[in-house]
Chains A and B, each alone.
Chain A
Amino acid sequence: MLTIAGRTFRSRLFGGTGKFSSPKVMKEALDASGCEMVTVALRRVDLANPADDIMSVLDRKKFLFLPNTSGARDAAEAVRLARLARAAGGGEWLKLEVTPDPRTLLPDPIETLKATEILVKEGFIVLPYMNADPVLALRLQDAGAAAVMPLGSPIGTNQGILTAFQIAIIIEQARVPVVVDAGLGAPSHAAQAMEMGADAVLVNTAIAVAGDPVRMARAFALAVEAGREAYEAGLGERREDAAASSPETGLDFLR
């Protein structure tokens, strides 16, 4: 079982709550995914639609809310969002996200480290979204991050794991759980991350924008389970030359 900051999770798939076509579809998809932790964002109430509260469909006993700091462009904004999330009853858990460039949404490593240091001191359980940088992963871990969340590819791109080499090093070195977050566009991408030994994956866009989000959520759950099972089973070694699967002896009768 996966443990982060003393809490255990049966499912190694974490879900997102953005981009779903309706609260009903979101709820059904998250139920089908089996995930126990979901990210949520913080935004101003739309005064033109004040009753529009999509989060009320989710059972807070079933899903641990992981508020994110999406939209923060520097450490100060992220810290302010984090404090607001906690005050709002979001708890201590936090997906720290500092993305100054709206085009790439790549995380700012320096501001992310700064914010991690501040928020850990304030008692937050910080899961920083980060570029797949093994050195940064260790720095964030030393700063007290409860897990690290390296990206497979930029947020919402569905491009899969373009950072496999670096993620493998992060997994090898990290003492905290490694959650591959962002860019996983197909169940096979999630299975790949899990086969590599990632502790969990976080998927939002690929499920939310699928033709049938409920079935896609199930597909991701199966892929995560398959990938984890394969990792625990121990994959065979890769080799350059072919190695026959059938016996190479006992062919005398042919010759």
Chain B
Amino acid sequence: MMQIVCNDEKKEIRPETTLIAFLSELGVKPDTVFVECNGVIIKRDEYETLVLPEGARLELIRFVGGG
């Protein structure tokens, strides 16, 4: 197992975990969020291929109600 940080929470993942697999484990529908990995915005078509690196810092963001 290795560690990453997602929205400031430490998470344990198996090596070679892709972004899409990680989102699915969290219970997040991939098309409702977008993701920054180490400060870089990840394009949607890369969710399936991006393998999360050790120590990655993820930000999961979505549209919410606002004025």
Residue A45 is within 8 A (CB to CB) of chain B in the complex: yes
Are A18 and B63 neighbours in the complex by a CB distance under 8 Å?
A: no
In the assembled complex, the Cα of A51 lies from the Cα of B60 at a distance in Å of: 12
In the assembled complex, the Cα of A17 lies from the Cα of B28 at a distance in Å of: 21
- Interface size on A, as a range, is 35 or more
In the assembled complex, the Cα of A16 lies from the Cα of B66 at a distance in Å of: 6
* Chain A residues positioned under 8 Å from B32 (CB to CB): 53, 55-56
Are A17 and B66 neighbours in the complex by a CB distance under 8 Å?
A: yes
Are B65 and A88 neighbours in the complex by a CB distance under 8 Å?
A: no
Task: Name B43's closest neighbour in chain A (CB-CB).
Answer: A87
Residue A215 is within 8 A (CB to CB) of chain B in the complex: no
Which of A50-90 touch B at CB < 8 Å?
50-51, 53-56, 65, 67-68, 70, 83-85, 87-90
Interface centre among A87, A89, A202, by most B CB within 10 Å? A87
Are B66 and A39 neighbours in the complex by a CB distance under 8 Å?
A: yes
Residue B1 is within 8 A (CB to CB) of chain A in the complex: no
Task: Name B60's closest neighbour in chain A (CB-CB).
Answer: A45
> Could you list 19 A-B pairs, sorted by A, with CB under 8 Å?
A17-B64, A18-B66, A20-B65, A41-B66, A42-B64, A43-B64, A45-B60, A45-B62, A51-B28, A51-B29, A53-B29, A55-B32, A55-B64, A55-B65, A56-B32, A65-B63, A88-B63, A89-B34, A202-B67
B residues near A (Cβ < 8 Å) are: 6-7, 9, 26-29, 32-34, 36, 41, 43, 59-67
